[in-house]
Amino acid sequence: MESAEIRRRWLSFFEERGHTVVPSASLIADDPTLLLVPAGMVPFKPYFLGEVKPPAPRATSVQKCVRTPDIEEVGKTTRHGTFFQMCGNFSFGDYFKEGAITYAWELLTTPVADGGYGLEPEKLWITVYLDDDEAERIWRDKIGVPAERIQRLGKKDNFWSMGVPGPCGPCSEINYDRGPEFGVEGGPAVNDERYVEIWNLVFMQYERGAGEDKENFPILGDLPSKNIDTGLGLERLAMILQGVQNMYETDTLRVVMDKATELTGVRYGAEHGSDVSLRVVADHIRTSAMLIGDGVTPGNEGRGYVLRRIMRRAIRNMRLLGATEPVVAELIDVVIRTMGEQYPELETDRGRIETVALAEEAAFLKALKGGTNILDTAVTETKAAGGRVLDGDKAFLLHDTWGFPIDLTLEMAAEQGLSVDEDGFRRLMKEQRDRAKADARAKKSGHADLSAYRAVADAGGSTEFTGYTSTEGEST
């Protein structure tokens, strides 16, 4: 089943059941706590919190999502992209656990010929939150899932929040058993690659406060009503329904990998390292196109930095695969053509997207030359002095003058056997940001704000790098 058909079936299933179809919001979140949209519920947050009365009690969408914290997983696990699409159904004080569970089971297991996704019920495993007897009872007694295929998991997996203040609640996940070729048995509690998570049903009933700890954050109290927020990864379901090994081989991403193999001459499947690079290229180029499409431009701060980091990582992986010429034009073209079916604005905006992407590629190729010289010299000096760690100020210099994202410096240093003083790098980044803020204030008030300089001078060792993830929620 093609991705487009998965999406069509999703929306019509829920529309037929009284849900208002809501188009995907922009990736640029209309929410001060987030840089980018990491989940389908973001546009509906005010309804869950009771701040705004929802125009209808039920909604459904297929939302564009970006999760930067998943960047390291890309290409290594079979199921994480920095960009993906989350199919969701939402109830604002309308149906709750039983309704959400019943709909999910029906859509997944109804035969393809009858409009569903046709998954075999015996391959589905369920997880519920530790103390959620009610959800377990519904799965077992109403739906008929055998008790041995229902597992209980703790807060990290089965209590959902976006990582920032907002609605939250226990959740129940549906996982698909891909069989012994993906490893040991024992259910999703034991093996999350074999029993791949496809759909998360969140029973949104509490409000959480601030706090970094994913497993221990304050609950402020009950939300005004009990709500449902669900998210099914379109690419993950496509991976199962298309019978491929990982999400990068599904219809909308495979074509980008194919273009990358054509441009480099590297065959997919030849070797693990180059396979990972090809998957990274496919994912990151798509994410870049989608971000530029929504108006992000590459830069050294915030969203611009997320884009820069992702795009430069794609280009660098193409070089590792052997490309010596610019590649972005051809790769982006494939993304626009394939994703343009679902998001026609990509075609309308093609000129702008290409211009922004090509300018960033040109800047990076130039930077790569200049930066590599600086890096090589620094590595030689460090080694000559008997060191194993590259100074933070070298990483800062590379970032500041050549726009080297820190992970590029880390990777390139590691290739030459060195680590990098990341704390030192972060400290310098923070100092620079504080300086920029003080300058801005000085400009405004007409004289220098000395207290800000004082704060910089006083800054101790415990500075925190907040360059690109500070306001971006990570979800479990």
Comparing CB distances to ligand ATP, the nearer of 155 and 437 is 155
Residue selected from 132, 197, 207, 421 as contacting ligand ATP according to rule CB under 6 A: 197
**Number of residues assigned to the chain:** 476
Residue-by-residue DSSP string for 334-365: HHHHHHTTT-THHHHTHHHHHHHHHHHHHHHH
Provide the β-strand partners of residue 230: 201
| Cβ neighbours around 234 below 10 Å, total | 25
State the minimum distance, in angstroms, from the CB of residue 317 to ligand ATP: 18
- Is 249 a binding residue for ligand ATP by CB under 6 A? The answer is no
Comparing CB distances to ligand ATP, the nearer of 247 and 398 is 247
Under rule CB under 6 A, how many of the chain's residues touch ligand ATP?
18
Residues 214-233 that bind ligand ATP (CB under 6 A): 231-233
Which run of H or of E encompasses 202? Answer: strand 195-208
Comparing CB distances to ligand ATP, the nearer of 230 and 382 is 230
Residue selected from 14, 84, 125, 305 as contacting ligand ATP according to rule CB under 6 A: 84
Residue showing the smallest CB distance to ligand ATP in the complex: 233
Phi-psi region of 417 (alpha: psi -120 to 50; beta: other; left: phi over 0): left
CA distances from 212 to 164, 467, 474 (A): 8, 16, 10
User: Using CA atoms, how far apart are residues 123 and 127, in angstroms rounded to an integer?
Assistant: 13
| Cβ neighbours around 309 below 10 Å, total | 23
- Is 294 a binding residue for ligand ATP by CB under 6 A? The answer is no
- Is 10 a binding residue for ligand ATP by CB under 6 A? The answer is no
Provide the β-strand partners of residue 390: 420
- Is 200 a binding residue for Mg ion by CB under 5 A? The answer is yes
Rg of the chain over all Cα atoms, to the nearest angstrom: 24
Comparing CB distances to Mg ion, the nearer of 197 and 349 is 197
- Is 161 a binding residue for Mg ion by CB under 5 A? The answer is no
* Nearest one of 244, 255, 226, 436 to 341, comparing CA atoms: 255
Instruction: List CB contacts of 443: < 8 A, sequence separation 6 or more.
Output: none
State the minimum distance, in angstroms, from the CB of residue 380 to ligand ATP: 38
- Is 68 a binding residue for Mg ion by CB under 5 A? The answer is no
- Is 124 a binding residue for ligand ATP by CB under 6 A? The answer is no
Where on the chain is the footprint of Mg ion (CB under 5 A)? 197, 200
Where on the chain is the footprint of ligand ATP (CB under 6 A)? 67, 70, 79-81, 84, 86, 197-200, 231-233, 235-236, 475-476
